[in-house]
Amino acid sequence: MGSLKPLASFGAVLVAVLVYLVGYNYQVAPSVCHVARLDTWPWPPFISQIFSSLPADTTSTVSSGSKRERFEQAFTVIRQELFDAFAAQGVPDDAQNWYRRNIDYNVPGGKLNRGLSVVDTVEIIKGRPLAEREFLQAAVLGWAVEFLQAFFLVTDDLMDKSLTRRGQPCYYRVPDVGTISVNDAVLLESAIYQLLKLHFRNETYYVDLMELFHEAGYTSLESSGFIDLHLQTTFQTSTGQLLDLITAPEDSVDLSKMSLEKFQLIARYKTAYYSFYLPVALAMLMCEIPNSYQSKSTGETVHAYDLARTILLPIGEYFQVQDDFLDFAGTPAQIGKVGTDIVDNKCSWCINTALAAASTEQRAILDENYGKRDAAMEAKVKTVFEEVGLRGKYRAYEERTYMKILALIEGVPEDEGVSLRKSVFTVFLEKIYKRQK
């Protein structure tokens, strides 16, 4: 029995240290006072091993349920962590209430496709259901994408003078908000970095990522860091927004500025990078897929992130073409809104395809009527769209693009263990192929 005394003493000391740290952590941020947060602290290796050996249900606050339900449960944890961190800065109650409303109004409530795609992709790459701690980490990355989406939407709605978003007034139209929404958008973006620090600071690559953030700024995606990837994605998407705004300003219609090539640039920069590439790339990073590796099945060198971009950017462009076509051809009951691309002077796939096919007379009609907030003028534009066979051109584009992307996916080599999978990309493609809303 005497040989057990040192072990008992060590256990008592360890418990005492944990109790002290938990108590201190609770004073600072009650929401992070659970084992899921303690296992992210920079413990000595032997203590980290204790946490890693714990059963899955003791290292997460995300309970059972459907994947979407668990993802939404993770948001309640993340939300409270952010609120506590904001309050810890000593800001007054009215600022805290404003911050809460900002997050609650703008982040949840969407389809969550981008965020859930991170979780789905991690599962596909790992080839199994995720343990609780893995699910929480993937969900944090997914919600980081949703925060990025919220940041873009708040600023986009203000610049476009949009009226509604997700069935409610755009955030800048909420009483007392107005142009304060610009600062609130920055707060939404800053929440991403707080979440990455809180949940990934104990990863071996975290310090390197922070150095990349401070020293490199907008560097190549080849570095493949979480923070750097986010910065690059923000840069890409903001560039797409700039191209969109200066190509087709709402109050100045000039169809000579538009082209299918410019549409493709806007679609890839503004939509494809953050909606399709970012979720997959984050999942690849979490699974520690390297920039390049030699495929055991083919012997070829796989440049994983370049390969993913090669497939996902065309999928994102295809998705934007669908959106543009449905804005013209879909009914409000079908797509959940009234299409406004024509009256808003959007540089859409529809107008650019029509311009490429229009006769001299049809071009004159488009020049005279496009981008005007007049129902009769909008109807004339739609008549030209029908005359040039836009519906048939869309069907041909969809089939051609679908087969092209399938061929790209077929070129993905698959190996045992953690590696890229064809199904990572086919899941995206099949979700949007021939979609009607």
Active site annotation includes 156:
yes
Q: What is the pLDDT of residue 2?
A: 47
| Range with the poorest average pLDDT among 67-71, 296-300, 350-354 | 296-300
Based on the number of CB atoms within 10 Å of its own CB, is 379 exposed (0-12), middle (13-18) or buried (19 or more)?
exposed
Cα 267 to Cα 49, 236, 276, distances in angstroms = 46, 11, 12
Active site annotation includes 270:
yes
Cα 139 to Cα 69, 119, 126, 196, distances in angstroms = 11, 6, 15, 12
pLDDT tens, residue by residue, 276-318: 988 898 888 888 888 888 888 888 898 988 899 999 999 999 9
Is 174's pLDDT higher than 90?
A: yes
Q: For the chain, what percent of residues have pLDDT higher than 90?
A: 44
Q: Which of 51, 75, 86, 151 is catalytic?
A: 151
pLDDT band at 28 (very low <50, low <70, confident <90, very high): very low
Q: What is the pLDDT of residue 265?
A: 85
**Which among 32-41, 72-81, 217-226 has the top mean pLDDT?**
72-81
Domains in the chain with CATH codes = 26-47+56-202 (1.10.600.10), 211-437 (1.10.600.10)
Q: How many CA atoms, within 13 angstroms, populate the side-chain half-sphere of residue 342?
A: 28
Cα 15 to Cα 3, 11, 29, 70, 322, distances in angstroms = 20, 6, 20, 31, 58
Cα 33 to Cα 38, 45, 87, distances in angstroms = 8, 21, 16
Cα 301 to Cα 94, 294, 307, 352, 409, distances in angstroms = 56, 4, 11, 39, 16
What does pTM read for this prediction? Answer: 0.76
pLDDT band at 136 (very low <50, low <70, confident <90, very high): very high
Active site annotation includes 323:
yes
pLDDT tens, residue by residue, 90-114: 999 999 999 999 999 999 988 898 9
Q: Which of 37, 70, 133, 165 is catalytic?
A: 165
Active site annotation includes 111:
yes
| Dihedral (CA of 83, 86, 90, 94) sign | negative
Q: Which of 46, 94, 111, 251 is catalytic?
A: 111
